[in-house]
């Protein structure tokens, strides 16, 4: 089986290409610039809006795994919804159309659990949960899902569609808020989170790449949407304790009222960050286990410990 991975130079893309290659699949990696180190799979440098490049990239490909997208924008581009839509929705649809023309058999679209919102209450999110995209990034992913589904989910054409919505993905080289936690733990700074009693679903990079491989190859994955996680949820103190263990440091957590922290965060314009750290977000990924018979191959707590141990 021949697989094209878009956005292959990113955090998830690099690990995914290595995992697919080691699993015996032929991997062609689309990148926008030359990789820093040599890879043991085929690398093509080019833009996804270049039809001539796409013709070369898609030649002989059985499965496209689409990771490329516009995310984590800051400054003046942080709320540029049009730019998000142009890349995450419109470019995705053009890529899928070209893939179909080139007789690709399956299109795996890696979306975001943000399609379902930013916080849960007592009821975990699953594939039947109503969409609730809050951020521009999630909205652009959701609109791409709608358009792709209208064309491919219920069609009996030559190319089927798989949609994957991962939550926070963690590893030693993870970006975003997880990297901020790793930095705080690495410095040994006392943290005021011992009183946080939330629950969060996440997925390790190793578990996610394995799940995406299954979505690319399993005959029953076509036409399905999957929310996926490690299958074990942690509170913020439990996450931090595992990270401190990975750094061979005693946990440095102390109590401070969550309500006061939340109020202060909102006043400082950091309410969203506080929700991500201290709010609950729980996923029920039972469908991945029942439909695909997928069990996360890596222990989530071990993966958290390893993330801190390997962090530099």
Residues carrying an active site annotation: 137
Q: Are 68 and 46 in contact (CB under 8 A)?
A: no
Q: Which residue has the tokens 């997880």?
A: 178
Contact status, residue 71 vs residue 139, Cβ threshold 8 Å = no
b/e code 241-274 from CB counts within 10 Å (16+ = b): bbbbbbbeeeeebeeeebeebbeebeeeeeeeeb
Q: Residues near 191 by Cβ (< 8 Å), separated by ≥ 6?
A: 184, 240, 252, 253, 254
Give the phi and the psi of residue 201 in degrees, each rounded to 5. -90, 135
Quick one: three-class SS letters along 133-202? CCCHHHHHHHHHHHHHHHHHHCCCCCCEEEEEECCCEECCCCCHHHHHHHHHHHHCCCECCCCCCCCECC
Task: Give the integer Cα–Cα distance in Å for 169 and 207.
Answer: 9
The pair of three-digit structure tokens given for residue 50, joined into one six-digit string: 């270049």
d(CA 252, CA 191): 6
Question: DSSP assignment, residue 132?
Answer: -
Q: Sheet holding 63-66: strands in order across?
A: 42-45, 26-31, 2-6, 63-66, 106-110, 160-165, 224-227
User: Using CA atoms, how far apart are residues 16 and 214, in angstroms rounded to an integer?
Assistant: 12
Of all helices (H) and strands (E), which one includes residue 109? Answer: strand 106-110
């Amino acid at each position: 089986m021949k697989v094209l991975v878009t956005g292959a130079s990113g955090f998830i893309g690099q690990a995914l290409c290595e995992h697919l290659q080691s699993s015996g699949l032929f991997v062609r990696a689309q990148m926008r610039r030359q990789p820093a180190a040599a890879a043991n799979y085929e690398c093509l440098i080019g833009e996804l809006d270049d039809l001539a490049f796409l013709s070369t990239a898609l030649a002989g490909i059985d499965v496209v795994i689409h990771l490329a997208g516009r995310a984590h924008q800051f400054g003046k581009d942080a709320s540029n919804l049009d730019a998000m839509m142009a890349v995450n929705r419109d470019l995705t649809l053009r890529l899928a159309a070209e893939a179909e023309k080139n007789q690709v058999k399956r299109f795996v679209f890696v979306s975001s659990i943000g399609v379902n919102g930013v916080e849960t209450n007592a009821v975990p999110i699953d594939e039947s949960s109503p969409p609730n995209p809050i951020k521009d990034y999630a909205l652009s992913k959701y609109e791409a899902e709608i358009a792709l589904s209208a064309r491919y989910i219920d069609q009996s054409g030559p190319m089927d569609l798989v949609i994957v919505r991962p939550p926070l993905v963690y590893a030693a080289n993870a970006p975003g808020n997880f990297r901020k936690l790793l930095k705080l733990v690495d410095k040994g700074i006392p943290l005021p989170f011992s009183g946080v009693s939330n629950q969060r679903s996440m997925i390790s990079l190793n578990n996610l790449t394995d799940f995406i491989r299954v979505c690319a190859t399993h005959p029953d994955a076509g036409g399905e949407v999957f929310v996926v996680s490690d299958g074990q949820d942690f509170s913020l103190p439990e996450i931090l304790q595992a990270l401190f263990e990975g750094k061979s440091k005693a946990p440095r957590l102390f109590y401070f009222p969550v309500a006061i922290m939340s109020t202060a965060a909102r006043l400082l314009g950091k309410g969203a960050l506080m929700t991500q750290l201290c709010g609950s977000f729980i996923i029920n990924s039972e469908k991945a286990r029942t439909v695909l018979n997928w069990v996360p191959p890596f222990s989530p707590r071990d993966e958290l410990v390893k993330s801190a141990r390997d962090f530099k």
